[in-house]
Chain A
Amino acid sequence: MLARLLLEDGEVDDVVDKLSRIVDFVDQLQAVATDDVLPMAHPLNMSQRFRDDAVTETDQRDFVQENAPSTERGYYLVPKVIE
Chain B
Amino acid sequence: MTTSGAIHQRSLRGLSDGLSQGEFSCRELTEALLSRIESYGPALNAFITVTADAALLQADRADKDRASGKSGPLTGLPIVHKDLFCTRGVRTTCGSNILGGFVSPYDATVVERLAEAGAVMLGKTNMDEFAMGSSNETSFYGAVSNPWNKRLSPGGSSGGSAAAVAARLVPAATGTDTGGSIRQPAALTGTVGLKPTYGRVSRYGMVAFASSLDQAGVITRTAEDAAMLLGVMAGFDERDSTSVNHPVPDYVAGLSKPVKGLKVGIVRQHFDEGLDAVCAARVRESLAALEEAGASLVEIDLPNIGLSVPTYYVVAPAECSSNLSRFDGVRFGHRCDDPEDLLDLYCRSRGEGFGAEVKRRIMTGTYVLSAGYYDAYYLKAQKVRQLISRDFKNAFEKVDVIAGPTAPTTAFAIGEKTDDPITMYLNDIYTIGANLAGLPGISVPCGFADGLPVGLQLVGPHFAEETILACAHQYQQLTSWHDEGPEEFA
Q: Mark A residues whose CB is within 8 Å of B.
A: 1-8, 11, 14-15, 18-19, 21-23, 25-26, 28-30, 32, 34, 37-44, 46, 48-49, 51, 60, 63-64, 66-70, 76, 78-81
Contact = CB atoms under 8 A, between A and B. Distances in A.
A63 B105 contact: yes
A8 to B, nearest CB: 7
CB-CB nearest 8 A-B residue pairs: A43-B438, A39-B382, A6-B351, A69-B335, A67-B332, A34-B383, A6-B347, A40-B386
23 contacts: A2-B370, A4-B328, A5-B359, A6-B347, A6-B350, A15-B356, A25-B425, A26-B368, A26-B377, A29-B314, A32-B387, A37-B384, A37-B386, A38-B386, A39-B379, A41-B212, A43-B199, A43-B439, A44-B244, A66-B105, A69-B329, A80-B341, A81-B341
B303 to A, nearest CB: 11
Contacts of A19: 360, 363-364, 367
Contacts of B386: 34, 37-40
A66 B105 CA distance: 9
B422 interface: yes
Interface of B: 101-103, 105, 197-199, 212-213, 238, 241-242, 244, 304, 307, 309-311, 313-314, 321, 325, 328-335, 339-348, 350-352, 354, 356, 359-360, 362-364, 366-368, 370, 376-377, 379-387, 389, 420-422, 425, 435-439, 462
Contacts of B387: 32, 34, 37
Given A7-B359, A15-B359, A49-B241, A2 B366 contact: yes
Nearest to A22: B364
Nearest to A11: B356
B360 A3 contact: no
B307 A28 contact: yes
Contacts of A11: 356, 359
A3 B329 CA distance: 14
A3 B340 contact: no
A10 B334 CA distance: 22
A29 B389 CA distance: 15
A78 B330 contact: yes
Given A23-B367, A32-B384, A37-B387, A76 B360 contact: no
Contacts of B362: 3, 5
A52 to B, nearest CB: 10
User: By DSSP majority rule, is chain B's interface helix, strand, loop, or mixed?
Assistant: helix
A26 B344 CA distance: 32
Given A2-B366, A69-B330, 9 more contacts: A7-B359, A15-B363, A26-B377, A29-B311, A37-B386, A38-B383, A66-B103, A69-B332, A79-B340
Contact of A26 (B198, B313, B340, B352): B313
Nearest to B379: A39
Contacts of B351: 5-8
A3 B342 CA distance: 14
Nearest to B313: A26
Contacts of A43: 198-199, 212-213, 389, 435-439
A15 B389 contact: no
Contacts of B101: 67
Contacts of A39: 379, 382-383, 385-386
Contacts of B331: 67-68, 76
Contacts of B425: 25
A71 B462 CA distance: 46
Contacts of A80: 341
Given A25-B313, A29-B307, A39-B382, A4 B347 contact: yes
B383 A79 contact: no
Contact of A29 (B339, B370, B384): B384
B381 to A, nearest CB: 6
A20 B335 CA distance: 30
Q: Which of A38, A49, A66, A76 has the largest count of B CB atoms less than 10 A from its CB? A: A49
Nearest to B423: A21
A40 to B, nearest CB: 4
Contacts of A22: 313, 360, 364, 421-422
Contacts of A28: 307, 310
Nearest to B339: A79
B363 A68 contact: no
